[in-house]
A and B are shown apart, each in its own frame.
Chain A
Amino acid sequence: MTTVTQGPTGGRPADAAGHGPDELMAVAERVAGWARTGEEVEVYVARGDETEVRAFSGAVESLTSATSAGIGIRVVVDHRLGFAWAGSLEESVFEETLAEARDNATFATPDEHVKLAVPDGVAPHVIDLWDEALASVPTTDKVEMALDLEARARTADPRIRQVDAADYGDGSVEMALVSTTGIRASSRKTMAHISVRVIAGDGDASQTAGGFSVGRGFADLDPSRAEEDAVTRAVRLLGATKGTSGRATVVFDRRVASTLLSVVSSALSGEAVAKGRSFFAGRIGEVVGDPSLTLVDDPTDPRAYGAAAFDAEGLACRRNALIDAGVLRGFLYDTVSGSRAGVASTGSAVRGGFAGTPGPGCRALTLAPGVQGYDEDGVLAAVGEGLFVQSMTGVHSGVNPISGDFSVGAEGLMIRDGKLAEPVREITVASTLQRMLLSLVAVGADVEWLPGIAAGQTLAIGDMQISGV
């Protein structure tokens, strides 16, 4: 075993080129200032630090420390958009990147809806996403946490035969956004996470599961929670056999339910709707779900992993009601898709860092908790008989948010007499997203904010097709 006695310093001073938070804004303002007459220019500058530790078999398998930074520039001339980015904040790349974005704009088709965001007067919620203490946590403590997590998981249960990986990771991101249309926004946030994957063995059969814990800082992390989650889930699958085919009510574990909501959310994008790529298109005001279904996207909730003061175009994030008591009420828009639909942006632009362009998307979806106040056990008891899905595979290959076709691989446990019973694996669960929303049987009140764009809540959905033997 290697002990790391001294790691890279955890501090976050200006980097070698002098890019602290104020410097990022200064860079963005300076480059935006190079706009020519008749040109709209938006400059997005970001910089981040990260540390990752992976433990395996009582030793550190890898320790990564890194800083990254970059710039993304959008230019709009005569309703044509061009974009360019560079993974560097060296002075020499700025002019070249702007010139490239400008050149790219000349090739786009003119489109009256193509424009940059303008300030809309909505005040941003002040949300503190920065854990000041993270910067001073010594690397040795991070390494110890990963090693401790690995050791806990390995010794938690005699049936755990391997801990595939135990990871600690943290990072900070700072960004500044300036446009010639009056946008000026900056934000910063920290993140920390641990995760563990275990293999449980019983004779020849193996089962796997993972657990994690996330937070803004080191102190938020809970290794025992991550370990227990992974171990419980892997061990309870031991002895799983291929399930039998038939129709059943399916209860989705909170983590799986969060993934389901994320998939549904792509059909709520104003861009997908405008371009006829959503099964929700043209259905505002219609019943699309069970009356117990109320869905909102609220990035102003500081508990949400995706909480943010500003969206990716620098407008204030806000609470948007999407489905209310089963009735479709709204979509999520950025500036361009809003213009196309004849409405204002809902402050819902998202982007994949400096190398991506903005588009509408969700940050913090939640369902209104069911009135019965059920936790997982409550939902299971209410359902009585069915299938509990603990993990899903093939979401990218079997769920189509345009057609609504839904078919995923699943493993979990049968529900008998309102309780978890024998484990099953190698089955699929299928329906259509449209039918699933209408067949909602129960929504748990057990809201848990998970990494990603949607909260987790236990969900029960009726009349799904199980395929097995």
Chain B
Amino acid sequence: MIESPVLERVLSAALRHGGEFAEVFAEDRSSSSALLDDGRVEELSSGRERGAGIRVVSGETTGFAHTADLSEAGLLRAAEAASAVARSGDGRTSTVAVTPLAPGSARSGGEGPAPGRGSKAQTLDLLRRADEAARSAGGAISQVQAGCGQSRRQVLIANSDGLLAGDDQSRSRFSVSCVATADTGLQTGYESAARTLGFEMFNEVSVAELAELAAGRALSKLTARPAPSGELPVVLAGGSGGILFHEACGHGLEADHIVKDASVYTGMVGQLVASPLVTLVDDGTVGTEWGTFSVDDEGRPAQRNVLIDHGVLTDYLWDYLRARKEGRVSSGNGRRQTYQHLPMVRMTNTFLLPGDEDAEEIVAQTPRGVYVAKLGGGQVNTTTGDFVFGTTEAYLIEGGRITEPLRDANLIGNGPEILKRIDAVAGDFAMTPGTCGKDGQSVPVGCGQATLRLTGVTIGGTAE
């Protein structure tokens, strides 16, 4: 994308007015999406975006500028703007030399040749198959929307420490949303699959199955009763979302919150913060999961980080800036949405290691509670630890059996309290993809867990 001598000159220019660290992050992203709605292929969209973000760190201050102009002149202008924070006037001349992190270039998403964007005709076929499968699931299915998106993101990172790294990331995603209608009103169901992989994802993923799951969810809720209100035991199904850990502790373990003393987990390394059944890992190297990459957006290789080991907090997640402050190295969690954004500490694939109990047995041993088959999104206040997560498919558990479907509701809890209430973990582990939003930036993440039980969570339904 940009030749090394140009990168070296731009980095030198970025440090001309002072500063300890300079970085060029260049990105070339192309994306395409297709949407089928209301029985019609409504829209195919293609986009192309390329540019570079340049940051200069001087003391506690980061200067950042970005440009869509990747010519040397364009990069030098951005370097000049980013260096405005460092006009300390020491006038020294920095010489920067960059060397590749690893020979060859990194690839995220398959071992084969660089994945293509899939032919448009093939994409349409997938969308129609999903539409058909969803509509065949029941006469009450009144609306179906299916979407397919693919992106290829090539990144190049060079910094004044001499690092030069790149990654070529292909991602694919397919989703189905259904509406079911009855005299009880409208209900919705959603399912998606997403991988760090090209079009070959569809060799592994059946879009008809996704459509049937989405349709089934909408249909089952037509006869659902309002969710209970108040505290009850909750069994989360394996692969129901894993968002519990993402919200209950994942965000709170991000070092940017820690160094600002804005997390309920600040100063708790070495302490018991969860049930001994909890071993929580964040791992950007897992197969072709949605949160996987070769190097992060600061050029650091993705790695596996154990955050909680048998209930004991072992470490936080780090990016370059926060790690530097603490005199350590990044954990490979510096990510950004695009070249127009500053990197910050983000999760990758965050999951609970499976336990050895039987999922059905866990339900059987729950006299009364709520069984959550699928979770939607969630949100957390890292400072107080209070978090919510929403159900999109849930049932009552009565007498150790899964019985009536429940309408959607949010569940609310406090991270450190809820993590201690996990009293059973099964072995039926599965991952799900999600989009994580933080401070205005969205990045792809994975969440995973096996079936587990929480001894009590507040359920925000309307039934008294």
Instruction: Report which A residues bind B (CB closer than 8 A).
Output: 1-2, 4-8, 16-17, 56-57, 59-70, 81-88, 90, 93, 96-97, 100-101, 103-105, 107-109, 111, 139, 161-162, 164, 199, 206-208, 242, 245, 247, 274-277, 279, 355, 357, 393-394, 396-398, 400, 402-405, 407-409, 411, 425-432, 465-469
Count contacts between A and B, CB distance < 8 Å. 287
Is B185 close to A, CB under 8 A?
yes
Contacts of B50 in A (CB 8 A): 87-88
- Given A59-B59, A85-B47, A199-B262: A8 in contact with B65 (beta carbons within 8 A): yes
Is B2 close to A, CB under 8 A?
no
Is B377 close to A, CB under 8 A?
yes
Contacts of B185 in A (CB 8 A): 279, 403-404
Contacts of B458 in A (CB 8 A): 242, 426-428, 467-469
Considering only residues 366-416 of chain B, those with a C-beta below 8 Å from chain A are: 376-381, 383-384, 386-390, 407-414
The 8 closest A-B pairs by CB, nearest first: A428-B460, A397-B390, A87-B49, A398-B410, A394-B388, A104-B44, A397-B377, A409-B388
The answer to whether B45 and A403 have CB atoms under 8 Å apart is: no
Which of B107-115, B224-232, B355-363 sits within the interface? Answer: B224-232
The answer to whether A87 and B65 have CB atoms under 8 Å apart is: no
Contacts of A426 in B (CB 8 A): 386, 412-414, 458
- Least CB distance, B392 to chain A, in whole angstroms: 9
- Least CB distance, A98 to chain B, in whole angstroms: 11
The answer to whether B186 and A59 have CB atoms under 8 Å apart is: no
Which residue in B77, B81, B124, B407 is a CB contact (below 8 Å) of A403?
B407
- Least CB distance, B440 to chain A, in whole angstroms: 10
Count of B interface residues, CB-CB < 8 Å: 88
Instruction: Report which B residues bind A (CB closer than 8 A).
Output: 34, 37-51, 58-69, 73-74, 77, 81-82, 84-88, 120-121, 124, 142-143, 179, 181, 185-188, 221, 227, 229-231, 260-262, 264, 340, 342, 376-381, 383-384, 386-390, 407-414, 458-464
- Given A87-B50, A88-B49, A400-B408: A63 in contact with B37 (beta carbons within 8 A): no
Interchain CA distance A100-B45 in the complex, whole Å: 9
The answer to whether B85 and A394 have CB atoms under 8 Å apart is: no
Which residue in B43, B181, B459 is a CB contact (below 8 Å) of A357?
B43
Which residue in B46, B48, B64, B221 is a CB contact (below 8 Å) of A63?
B64
Contacts of B408 in A (CB 8 A): 398, 400, 403, 405, 407
The answer to whether A430 and B84 have CB atoms under 8 Å apart is: no
**Of B40, B73, B229, B387, most A-chain CB atoms within 10 Å:** B229
Which residue in A96, A139, A164, A427 is a CB contact (below 8 Å) of B260?
A164
The answer to whether A397 and B388 have CB atoms under 8 Å apart is: yes
Other contacts beyond A88-B68, A275-B38: 9, CB < 8 A: A16-B73, A16-B74, A64-B63, A66-B66, A96-B48, A107-B124, A394-B390, A407-B460, A425-B384
Contacts of B410 in A (CB 8 A): 394, 397-398, 407-409, 428, 430
The answer to whether B68 and A107 have CB atoms under 8 Å apart is: no
Interchain CA distance A90-B67 in the complex, whole Å: 12
**Of A8, A64, A109, A429, most B-chain CB atoms within 10 Å:** A64
The answer to whether B48 and A431 have CB atoms under 8 Å apart is: no
Interchain CA distance A468-B143 in the complex, whole Å: 36
Residue of A nearest to B87 (CB): A5
Interchain CA distance A88-B58 in the complex, whole Å: 30
The answer to whether A411 and B388 have CB atoms under 8 Å apart is: no
- Least CB distance, A43 to chain B, in whole angstroms: 15
The answer to whether B48 and A107 have CB atoms under 8 Å apart is: no
- Least CB distance, A292 to chain B, in whole angstroms: 23
The answer to whether A63 and B85 have CB atoms under 8 Å apart is: yes
The answer to whether B68 and A2 have CB atoms under 8 Å apart is: no
The answer to whether B34 and A84 have CB atoms under 8 Å apart is: no
Interchain CA distance A394-B413 in the complex, whole Å: 12
The answer to whether A400 and B188 have CB atoms under 8 Å apart is: yes
Contacts of B462 in A (CB 8 A): 407, 430-432, 465
- Least CB distance, A286 to chain B, in whole angstroms: 15
Interchain CA distance A56-B259 in the complex, whole Å: 11
- Least CB distance, A14 to chain B, in whole angstroms: 14
The answer to whether B390 and A407 have CB atoms under 8 Å apart is: yes
Interchain CA distance A64-B243 in the complex, whole Å: 32
Interchain CA distance A346-B411 in the complex, whole Å: 39
The answer to whether B188 and A403 have CB atoms under 8 Å apart is: yes
The answer to whether A109 and B41 have CB atoms under 8 Å apart is: yes
The answer to whether B230 and A467 have CB atoms under 8 Å apart is: yes
Contacts of A247 in B (CB 8 A): 464
**Of B120, B376, B413, B460, most A-chain CB atoms within 10 Å:** B460
Which residue in A61, A427, A432 is a CB contact (below 8 Å) of B62?
A61
Which residue in A8, A104, A206, A279 is a CB contact (below 8 Å) of B383?
A206
Interchain CA distance A112-B71 in the complex, whole Å: 45
Interchain CA distance A396-B231 in the complex, whole Å: 22
Contacts of A81 in B (CB 8 A): 42-43
- Least CB distance, A169 to chain B, in whole angstroms: 10
In the complex, 14 of the A-B residue pairs with CB atoms within 8 angstroms, ordered by the A residue number, are: A2-B61, A8-B65, A8-B81, A16-B77, A82-B43, A86-B47, A103-B120, A162-B261, A208-B262, A276-B186, A393-B379, A397-B390, A426-B414, A465-B461
Contacts of B460 in A (CB 8 A): 398, 407-409, 428-430, 467
Contacts of A57 in B (CB 8 A): 60
Contacts of A139 in B (CB 8 A): 84
The answer to whether B84 and A65 have CB atoms under 8 Å apart is: yes
Interchain CA distance A203-B43 in the complex, whole Å: 56
The answer to whether B61 and A402 have CB atoms under 8 Å apart is: no
Residue of A nearest to B262 (CB): A164
Contacts of A101 in B (CB 8 A): 46
Residue of B nearest to A113 (CB): B40
Contacts of B39 in A (CB 8 A): 109
The answer to whether B44 and A107 have CB atoms under 8 Å apart is: yes
The answer to whether A430 and B461 have CB atoms under 8 Å apart is: yes
**Of B64, B87, B381, B410, most A-chain CB atoms within 10 Å:** B410
The answer to whether A62 and B64 have CB atoms under 8 Å apart is: yes
Interchain CA distance A139-B81 in the complex, whole Å: 11
The answer to whether A62 and B186 have CB atoms under 8 Å apart is: no
- Least CB distance, B85 to chain A, in whole angstroms: 5
Which residue in A16, A83, A407 is a CB contact (below 8 Å) of B69?
A16
Which residue in B84, B86, B459 is a CB contact (below 8 Å) of A8?
B84
Contacts of B59 in A (CB 8 A): 1-2, 59
Interchain CA distance A279-B181 in the complex, whole Å: 10
Contacts of B121 in A (CB 8 A): 107
Which residue in A56, A245, A398 is a CB contact (below 8 Å) of B409?
A398
Which residue in A100, A398, A408 is a CB contact (below 8 Å) of B46?
A100
Residue of B nearest to A5 (CB): B87
Interchain CA distance A162-B461 in the complex, whole Å: 35
**Of B45, B67, B381, B386, most A-chain CB atoms within 10 Å:** B45
The answer to whether B87 and A62 have CB atoms under 8 Å apart is: no
The answer to whether B388 and A408 have CB atoms under 8 Å apart is: yes
Residue of B nearest to A15 (CB): B69
The answer to whether B412 and A467 have CB atoms under 8 Å apart is: yes
- Least CB distance, B69 to chain A, in whole angstroms: 7
The answer to whether B342 and A87 have CB atoms under 8 Å apart is: no
Interchain CA distance A149-B59 in the complex, whole Å: 21
Residue of B nearest to A245 (CB): B230
Interchain CA distance A57-B389 in the complex, whole Å: 32
Residue of A nearest to B78 (CB): A66
Interchain CA distance A111-B39 in the complex, whole Å: 11
Interchain CA distance A7-B380 in the complex, whole Å: 36
Contacts of B63 in A (CB 8 A): 62-64
